Amino acid sequence: MALSWMQAFFHKHKSWLILGVILVVAAFVRLYHIETKMRFIWDEGRDMLAIRKIITQRDLTLFGPYNEMGVEKDFFGVFHYYLMLPALWLADYNPVGPAIFTAMLGVISVALVYLLVSMWDKRQLALWTAAIYALSPLVIKHVIWPWNPNTMPFFTLLYFIFLSKFHQRPARLWSGLAGLTLGLLFQLHYFSIALLVPWLMLAWKKKSSVLNWALFIGAFLVANLNFILFDLTHEWFYFKILKDSFVGGSSQQLLQFSLPHLLTTPFIFTNDTFAKLLTLPAIFTWPVTLSFMVFGYKRIQHFLVSQRLTLGTMVVGSWLGLLVIISFFPTLVNDYYGNYLWFGLLMIMTKGFIKFKNSFRCHSIFLIVGVLFCTRLFTEIDLGRQPTWQENMPLVRQLAEVAAQDAQSETKTFNIASLADSDTRATRYRYFLEVAGAKPLGVDDYSRTEVLYVISPHSAVASQQNPAWEISTFIDQEWQLLDSVNGISVFKVVRN
């Protein structure tokens, strides 16, 4: 009796039970030792400093993450700061709080993949896509630390769900929510503008009213009001960067036309993405990439002829938009640029394999191969690996606390530098100094620094040979070793 009831229950709720297992595994591989596996370098140190300042000083800034790399300038919206703020506050300023929050959005994204795909196709495809997405090492890598592009998949899936709802019933609610979500995505990274393509497809197919267009555009602008207000009060700061990037007039110009790059980038970038998602050598994913290209061509052609729209067509349209952007920005190509569409690539690939399975009626073989492949993905995650220099946040905190403990009894002005990584200004160590109540001088104030704390993996003599300008005026001073943790030393140098 009990056995038959359990069998009936499993049969009735099989999809949800399997999804539950997938979500448990997804949570485990994302949260396992996250404190030592999360990346915490210059970007994260800068962001945590800014978020903590918002909390402690009530500094409600409109200025988001900003990078200046030589002549190149990169900017993002402030939404990331306010999104991570509650998690940092609840974690008592421990960056692992925002990391866990980001990882949990990644887990929810797995559920959203299932929900979105099942809105358009069979549950079998939705489950397989969710399983592969949950276990792909590349996907996991980009959701376990608090960085503005890492929450893009979550909001992209919401965006596609709103578009799907609009496709089912063109209501003003869905056009407004879609515009708002795309606006938030633009704040997280401007390359998300490629997601405008599926809205254009949908609006064309549905012959959207002026009101739907107005709501979409208006909601997008509301989400980016901070850019507008900041520019109005800061001499068009963001507009000037965009002008230099697109029009030129300076060495900042990133928009370039290169025919060889334009011809080769779409295939190379797509193939590299598949290879990294599936943890396979790039040569082995050529058939998958070629099949994807053929599928994409047919979907777009079919849409232009019949205006028949599918989730696959919207994904292909978005990916094509991204490829166009990347092709015209040859200096800006990174793994994470397409992270918000990885679910779509995996869905299209999986659908192709399911179609192949159905054609040849090899259901058992497909199931065995699928389980073995997911098992292989799980092993490729390498949960037991040692943290890299970009990770191991507890070590960073320990080293910073050594300097902080000494600095709290110091009456002279002090600063900190790091020779343990490329960020010689020691941004990630600065964050933990401030949390400990020891505020160093700014990154432009080394010339008037009286006491310098140096984080270095080398001896004092070897460290003094380093050409870093932050320590240049302290080379001839006496270097006192305060402590050493895991082979990394903390030196105190007092200017005479």
Q: Quick one: pLDDT band at residue 67, thresholds 50, 70, 90?
A: low
Confidence at residue 325, expressed as pLDDT on a 0 to 100 scale: 86
More confident residue, 328 or 308: 308
The answer to the question of residue 386 being in a domain is no
Write out the residue range of the structural domain in which residue 436 sits. Answer: 393-494
Does residue 73 sit in the same domain as residue 110? yes
- 220 token code pair: 């997008």
In the predicted structure, residue 43 carries a pLDDT above the cut 80 = yes
Does residue 214 sit in the same domain as residue 327? yes
Does residue 432 sit in the same domain as residue 478? yes
The answer to the question of residue 385 being in a domain is no
The residue type found at 144 is I
Least confident of 72-81, 176-185, 383-392: 72-81
Looking at residues 311-336, what average pLDDT do you find?
A: 85
In the predicted structure, residue 70 carries a pLDDT above the cut 60 = no
In the predicted structure, residue 237 carries a pLDDT above the cut 60 = yes
Confidence at residue 256, expressed as pLDDT on a 0 to 100 scale: 61
The answer to the question of residue 293 being in a domain is yes
Per the prediction, the chain carries an average pLDDT of 90
Confidence at residue 315, expressed as pLDDT on a 0 to 100 scale: 98
The answer to the question of residue 195 being in a domain is yes
CA pair distance 127, 129, nearest whole angstrom: 5
Does residue 307 sit in the same domain as residue 411? no
Does residue 376 sit in the same domain as residue 397? no
pLDDT tens-place string over residues 460-487: 999 999 999 999 999 999 999 999 999 9
In the predicted structure, residue 71 carries a pLDDT above the cut 60 = no
pLDDT tens-place string over residues 153-192: 999 999 999 999 999 988 899 999 999 999 999 999 988 9
Confidence at residue 263, expressed as pLDDT on a 0 to 100 scale: 76
Does residue 142 sit in the same domain as residue 264? yes
In the predicted structure, residue 12 carries a pLDDT above the cut 80 = no
CA pair distance 41, 19, nearest whole angstrom: 34
Confidence at residue 190, expressed as pLDDT on a 0 to 100 scale: 86
The residue type found at 215 is L
Does residue 403 sit in the same domain as residue 343? no
The residue type found at 493 is V
Looking at 380, 410, 436, which one is the last position of a domain?
A: 380
Q: Quick one: pLDDT band at residue 258, thresholds 50, 70, 90?
A: low
Q: How many CA atoms lie within 13 A of 167 on its CB side?
A: 22
Does residue 89 sit in the same domain as residue 233? yes
- How many structural domains are present in the chain? 2
Confidence at residue 66, expressed as pLDDT on a 0 to 100 scale: 73
Looking at residues 57-86, what average pLDDT do you find?
A: 80
Do the Cβ atoms of 116 and 160 come closer than 8 Å? yes
Do the Cβ atoms of 65 and 76 come closer than 8 Å? yes
The answer to the question of residue 156 being in a domain is yes
Q: Quick one: pLDDT band at residue 423, thresholds 50, 70, 90?
A: very high
Looking at 356, 380, 404, which one is the last position of a domain?
A: 380
Q: Which of 100, 68, 106, 107 is nearest to 86 (CA)?
A: 100
Gap between the terminal Cα atoms of the chain: 86
The answer to the question of residue 252 being in a domain is yes
Q: How many CA atoms lie within 13 A of 446 on its CB side?
A: 20
CA pair distance 465, 467, nearest whole angstrom: 6
The residue type found at 485 is V
Looking at residues 419-425, what average pLDDT do you find?
A: 92
Among all chains, which residue has been given the structure tokens 């292989």?
376
Does residue 14 sit in the same domain as residue 135? yes
In the predicted structure, residue 5 carries a pLDDT above the cut 70 = no
Least confident of 49-63, 138-152, 275-289: 49-63
Q: Which of 245, 260, 272, 282 is nearest to 327 (CA)?
A: 260
Does residue 318 sit in the same domain as residue 459? no
Q: Which helix or strand (DSSP H or E) is residue 292 part of? A: helix 286-306
For 415, phi then psi, to 5°, come to -145, 175
More confident residue, 306 or 197: 197
pLDDT tens-place string over residues 200-235: 999 988 887 889 999 999 999 999 998 888 888 877
Does residue 413 sit in the same domain as residue 372? no
Q: For 189, left (φ over 0), alpha (ψ -120 to 50), or beta? A: beta
Do the Cβ atoms of 125 and 117 come closer than 8 Å? yes
Confidence at residue 332, expressed as pLDDT on a 0 to 100 scale: 61
In the predicted structure, residue 251 carries a pLDDT above the cut 80 = no
The answer to the question of residue 387 being in a domain is no
Confidence at residue 19, expressed as pLDDT on a 0 to 100 scale: 96
Confidence at residue 182, expressed as pLDDT on a 0 to 100 scale: 98
In the predicted structure, residue 445 carries a pLDDT above the cut 80 = yes
The residue type found at 63 is F
CA angle 36/42/44 to nearest 5° reads 60
Confidence at residue 141, expressed as pLDDT on a 0 to 100 scale: 95
In the predicted structure, residue 335 carries a pLDDT above the cut 90 = no
Looking at 330, 348, 380, which one is the last position of a domain?
A: 380
Burial of 221 (0-12, 13-18, 19+ CB in 10 A): middle
The answer to the question of residue 31 being in a domain is yes
CA pair distance 266, 144, nearest whole angstrom: 28
Does residue 373 sit in the same domain as residue 406? no
The residue type found at 74 is D
